[in-house]
Amino acid sequence: MRAFATAAFAVFLSIGSVFANLAGASPAAAAPVHGLSAFGALKYQPDFKHFDYVNPQAPKGGTMALLPVGGKTTFDSLNPFILEGTGAEGIDADDPRSLVYDSLMVRAYDEPDAVYGLVAESAELAPDRTWVVFNLRKQARWHDGTPITAADVAFTFRALKDKGHPRFAVVLADVKDAVALSPSQVKFSFDPKGAVRDLPMVVAQLPILSKAWYTKNEFTKPSLQPPLTSGPYTIGKVVPGRSVSYERVKDYWGKDLPVSVGRMNFDTIRLEYYQDRAIAMEAFLAGAYDFREEFTSKTWATEYKGPGIDRKWILRDTLKDNRPSGAQFFFINLRRDKFKDVRVREALDLAFDFEWTNRAIFYGAYGRTSSVFENSELAATGMPSPAELALLEPYRKQLPPGVFGPAFEPPKSDGQGGNRENLRKAVTLLQQAGFVMKNGVLAGKDGKPLTLEMLNYEPGFERVLLPYMESLKRIGVQGALRTVDPAQYEQRVKEFDFDLTMDRIAWPNTPGVEQRAYWSSAAADVKGSFNLGGIKNPVVDALIRAILEAKDRPALIAAARALDRVIMFNHYMVPQYYKGSHTIAWWDKYGRPKAKPPFERGVQDLWWYDPAKAKALAAARGR
């Protein structure tokens, strides 16, 4: 499903008139720093040569062809910054970072939330974090040779916030403005009453767009015209809906910077799109592309067969993922009246038999999701701590009693497929909510049956969804599965035209302003919002603010766990499953660093092409 690297989507996934009179003047005094983090600590010193997890001698060359990280099956635009259209992956600041757009600073993959200078040589941060000034490198260049300027940065902020995808307006709500103080100095100002802790890192990671290019070209329309970019790659061959190639810029202006050494090593990165998972798997085994991360347990357990596997031309590995595994759920559309009663939502949870699904369909590969911050220290455990209670107690009357007890646990079955006890509980809850069973069908006070449509775009998921639909029918809910093409799916989700749908959210290690985009009342009715369920809860809003205002990591953990309890005990979603690892496969023609960085997969930007391996593989295959 869609996987929003918040790092972007994930990747996701990580500002103009108030200071206009300051243009050209020096900002208030603040010591220049080479990097930023939420709580101040940085691993790398100002004179660091490269990140520890790279191979600084990694050779350049060769090609890697792979599937999109975010699970997209098609694209129709090279403009991913707007609501209209489906943008090609690899262009915006997705996972791991944009291939073609530079940003002021870039993440370190071995620190929870640190960023270090790319276009920005340094940053000057106000003691109260209400503003930050970035000092741009004089050598930073667009691919046409013109300099990247502070005016480009300021233009980018205003374009994204005012005209971009609505998610930008939500995330950048507390960013008041961005003003070019000089061609090489830009100042962002933040609302002092807002959540300022993370905003310096948020704006530091925004992709920088060319003001000059978008003065001549429309920003608000999808387009397949390659824009002017500045990053380590430029857009190459584009086959709409099928593939997009990125070509390494040999004289890339930032190639020798510490944040770039050992990275972005392939001459060509090609993203291949397949609308059918089975066909995509066959293509991989035939050598049509080089690398895939496997997200389907049955495929991983049963379909990696054939000469490529038997002769070890194709290698497989499981990499530990130290990031929060995120939220994978059936998202319930609370905008529809039939789901507003928490008892109805809890009944939908009881009807999903994870234990049977995991045994019979997933080959025991998964654990059950029980938290929106699964696989991390942010997930609620045990009884609420004193710090959590201090946040929750003011809202006790507005919260389900379970919030103040042991952490949420999803219902369990015996795994044999009957799930009778949970289904009986589900029927009882639905009857308490006012539904009456007539001839095996639940009907409301108006006599209309309780219906539910599950929206899906991937036929491969039907093996999971159809048994769930059958369970719902057993409790009198008229469930139906609607599988549509990817483009229709994207449009319907943007317009919230669904009852339930599957999705997964991948979080950064330090949650911040992205929480607003996914859970806040402000995002609930914004077309294209990531708040798929339409949650509107003032307690949720207050706890998001507590996350944003946390002064240290213990306070952050307490706020995240409190939010976790409130969301889970309100049964806003039906928990699905997770695994804290990456299962990957690739044709054996690449080298990779000795160890994966703890907080990133790091394939297309850290691996490299090995000519000797490639030659041996070609000879073995008779190519």
**pTM, two decimal places:** 0.82
Q: CA 85, CA 93: separation in Å to the nearest integer?
A: 17
- DSSP label at 233? E
Peptide bond into 96 cis (omega under 30): yes
Q: Find, among 375, 309, 333, the residue nearest to 500 by Cα.
A: 333
Q: CA 162, CA 169: separation in Å to the nearest integer?
A: 7
Write down all domains in the chain, each with its CATH number in brackets.
327-425+502-578 (3.10.105.10)
pLDDT at 17: 29
Q: CA 113, CA 378: separation in Å to the nearest integer?
A: 15
**Averages of pLDDT over each 10 residues, the chain, 623 residues:** 36 31 46 93 96 98 91 88 90 64 96 95 96 98 98 97 92 95 98 89 95 96 96 96 96 97 97 92 97 90 94 94 79 97 97 94 88 92 98 98 97 93 97 93 92 92 93 94 92 95 86 92 92 97 95 95 98 91 94 92 95 97 89
Q: Find, among 187, 200, 186, the residue nearest to 140 by Cα.
A: 186
What is the distance in angstroms between the CA of the first residue and the CA of the last residue of the chain? 35
Q: Find, among 356, 301, 359, 573, the residue nearest to 467 by Cα.
A: 356
pLDDT at 19: 29
pLDDT at 25: 38
pLDDT at 92: 64
Q: CA 32, CA 35: separation in Å to the nearest integer?
A: 9
Give the DSSP H/E element, type plus range, for residue 426. helix 420-432
Q: Give the phi and the psi of residue 244 in degrees, each rounded to 5.
A: -140, 135
Q: Where are the beta strands (DSSP E) in 381-499?
A: 436-438, 441-443, 451-456, 478-483
CA distances from 90 to 165, 403, 508, 622 (A): 17, 40, 18, 33
For 36, the token pair is 């930023």
